Structure 1
Amino acid sequence: MASYDTLVPDLHRRGATLSSRPRHPQPTVRRRRLGSELKRLREAAKISMDQAAERIGGDKSKISRQENGRQGVTKLEIEALLDLYRVSDSKLKTALVTLAREGRRKNWWAPFSDILDERFQEHLSIEADAGRMLLFQPLLVPGLLQTREYAEVSIRGDEDSHSDEQVESHVSVRMGRQEILQRDSPPQLVCILDEAVIRRVVGSPKVMADQLRKLIEVNNPPRLSIQIIPFSQGCHAGLDGAFSVYSYPDPMDLDVVSLGYLDGLIYLEEDGPVERYKLAFDQLRSSALPSRQSMDLIAKAARSLTS
């Protein structure tokens, strides 16, 4: 199963970008959260979508798009809907208006929007707002932990159809993603890697050794924890491919699981599938070496590249 750390450049190389398909606005985390809450309030008030649409001078499809997070909601529309839904909690009203405003703000990747398809921009939003990330990767070091040189090699891949300018733009985006780990209150990151990740030489031995040393440098449990599933473990719960679980500090948020496939990513938000992936991650973590032993294995792999 692919991940966006390998998938997006591959899509650009093959010309199979999502821009060739019908374009539909992708929900950001904030819009997804706002829409979910508006739907909950509407259903609690036993108001139909047609009634809600009439109140804001729209149609049923507009309410559907807003509740799915695919269309923004103005301050006036929120106030009208909350009045219809008989919501009197002033704190809740303020929180929802703030969500709507934040959903329209520009993100740090806006200067690169011309080279990033909509699904990847949605992925960046999900990643940037998370309070906790559980990452499993059996193929490559995740983008959030890559060195610039490792990122450049993985983005360029085994084809040379990317121009230097395109490669540099994608590398800049990948490096920009890592700034969330430098915040005053960074998200918790738990990363499980198959041993194949540290054994596969991406780029030159020096590039790979530098990448492995970075993993050791950034490892800082419990805020940022990296563990390795050794080959000796044999079969484990992650053999079907990479996946990520994103959790958020606001109780209004929904946990999200992202799964990669050849043409993009799919997101799971239903309680059942999300809980199954959380359980799978727990199983992977129990199969992995403890953090200290994982660092010893990574250090040994790095030394083998420079000896």
Structure 2
Amino acid sequence: MSARRSTVQPSTVLGRQLGDELRQYREAAGLSTSAAAEALDCTKAKISRIENGRVPVRVPDLMALLHTYGVGDGQVLERLTTLARSANRRRREGWWNQYGPVLEDTYRDYIALEAVSDSIRTYQSQLIPGLLQTPAYARAVTVASKAWQTPDEIEQFVKVRAARQERLTADQPLSVWAVMAEGVLHQRVGGADVMRAQLEHLVTMTGLANVTVQVLPFSRGAHGGMFGPYLLLSFPQVSALDVVLMEHPTGHIWLEQEPEVARYRDLFDDARTSALSPAESAARIERIISKEYRA
């Protein structure tokens, strides 16, 4: 994953939840974003960013907005204050912040969302998904990206990837469903030895109950995933909507509007139904190892 720039900055899950509730209270009070902006002495654009979860909300600003909206219920005030503080603390205190020198804001935003997601579905046409990469494979990809220049930067980035993978075996593990184009398995990233170890690791990971791997074979022909890789993140909060991340050589594109996200759900469903079954996929990977990557 590139970490150098982003086309659209994603909102955080907690920030979106808080912003959505603030929008509902504003609309229930019959107030416009202009009226809300007057309460904070700010621009309408800032109110929109708050309601979209794109900027943190200071507790004094939160209280001013709720007062303007006529919200006086003590339990509501306490709950939303706690939510605001949690959202702001997560932005500041995530483990990924210790790697600040090698992670730009865009990648930290992604990790922050991944850290609170409970399910990731992804289609990959060029690479093994980051959560399933071995350190050697991740290192080879990082070197090839040319986004990190020094050996120390490269190793720090590889450590970040390893830290993300800890969620796969945590007490409440992240669910990962990955569909990969068959060509990914033949691309000799890092050379034959690195690739053999990577494919063996991939087979091992399919033994986890929370990891599903499917291979979309060459024989399937044209399919929707040919237009590029993407990740679809889901969250345990009832009010949290899915988000989609698409990558391209110069940055990332985040999609959060439900019609757009729904389109990617359909694309993923098409990919998984077109791909080999998980058992057939594991057998295909093992066959490639024995034919192309024998020790």
- Report the TM-score when normalising by structure 1: 0.86
Aligned to 2:17: 33
The residue aligned with 1:97 is 81
Quick one: distance in 2 between partners of 1:258 and 1:189? Answer: 15
Matched with 1:196 is 183
Give me the whole-angstrom Cα distance separating, in 1, the residues matched to 2:216 and 2:245: 21
Q: 2:239 aligns with which of 252, 269, 292?
A: 252
User: 1:85 and 2:69 equivalent?
Assistant: yes
Aligned equivalent of 1:50, options 29, 34, 44: 34
For residue 122 of structure 2, give the secondary structure of its aligned residue in structure 1: strand
Distance change >3 Å, CA 134–CA 70, structure 1 → 2: same
Structure 2, unmatched stretches of 5+, are none
Q: Percent of counterpart pairs with the same letter?
A: 35
Q: Distance in 1 between matches of 2:210 and 2:272?
A: 15
Q: Which residue of 2 aligns with 1:233?
A: 220
Give, as a single letter, the amino acid of the residue that structure 1 aligns with 2:294: T
- The amino acid of 2:267's aligned partner reads A
- Whole-angstrom distance in 1 between the partners of 2:58 and 2:252: 29
CA distance in 2 between counterparts of 1:91 and 1:221 reads 41
Q: For residues 163 and 75 of structure 2, what CA distance do their matches in structure 1 show?
A: 34
Q: Displacement, 1:291?
A: 0.7
Residue 285 (str. 1) matches residue 272 (str. 2)? yes
Q: Report if the CA contact (8 A) 1:152-1:167 is conserved.
A: yes
SS of the residue aligned with 1:260? Answer: strand
Tell me if 1:184 matches 2:171.
yes
Query: For 1:259-278, what aligned pairs fall within 5 Å after superposition?
Result: 259-278=246-265
Q: Displacement, 1:145?
A: 0.6
Alpha-carbon contact 1:131-1:188 (below 8 Å) kept: yes
2:10 touches 2:254 (CA, 8 Å); kept in 1? no
Q: CA deviation at 1:302?
A: 1.7
What residue is the counterpart of 1:11 in the other structure? none
Partner Cα separation in structure 2 for residue 259 and residue 156 of structure 1: 21
Within 1, Cα distance between the matches of 2:118 and 2:11?
18
Tell me how far apart the structure 1 counterparts of residues 156 and 208 of structure 2 sit (CA, whole Å). Answer: 31
Is the Cα–Cα contact under 8 Å of residues 57 and 88 in structure 2 kept in the other structure?
no
Unaligned runs of 5+ in 1: 9-16
Cα deviations across residues 218-269 of structure 1 (Å, max 9, x unaligned)? 1146521111111111112210010111111112212101111222111111
Q: Which moved more, 1:140-149 or 1:213-222?
A: 213-222
C-alpha distance in 2, partners of 1:291/1:221? Answer: 12
Structure 2 residue 18 is matched with structure 1 residue 65 = no
Alignment match, 1:145? 132
In structure 2, C-alpha distance between the alignment counterparts of 1:26 and 1:114, rounded to whole Å: 20
Aligned to 1:13: none
**In 2, distance between residues paired with 1:286 and 1:97?**
44
* Offset, 1:135: 0.6
SS at match of 1:109: helix
Q: 1:249 to 1:92 in 2, by over 3 A?
A: farther
- 1:156: how far off? 0.5
Let me know the Cα RMSD of the aligned residues: 2.5
Indicate the larger mover: 43-52 or 256-265.
43-52
Supply the distance in 2 between the matched residues of 1:302 and 1:159 (Cα, whole angstroms).
28
> Which residue is equivalent to 1:168?
155
Closer/same/farther in 2, CA of residues 288 and 92 from structure 1, 3 Å limit: farther
Query: Aligned to 2:212, what secondary structure does the other structure show?
Result: strand
- Paired position in structure 2 for 1:12: none
Alpha-carbon distance between aligned partners in 2 of 1:157 and 1:103, rounded to the nearest angstrom: 35
Distance 2:206 2:76 in 1: 38
| Match in the other structure for 1:157 | 144
1:42, distance to aligned residue in structure 2 (A)? 1.3
The number of residue pairs the alignment matches comes to 291
TM-superposed deviation, 1:301: 1.4
Contact 1:134 1:246 in 2 (8 A): yes
Q: Write the distance in 2 (CA, Å) between the matches of 1:88 and 1:198.
A: 58
The answer (yes or no) to whether the contact 2:142–2:148 under 8 Å persists in 1 is: no
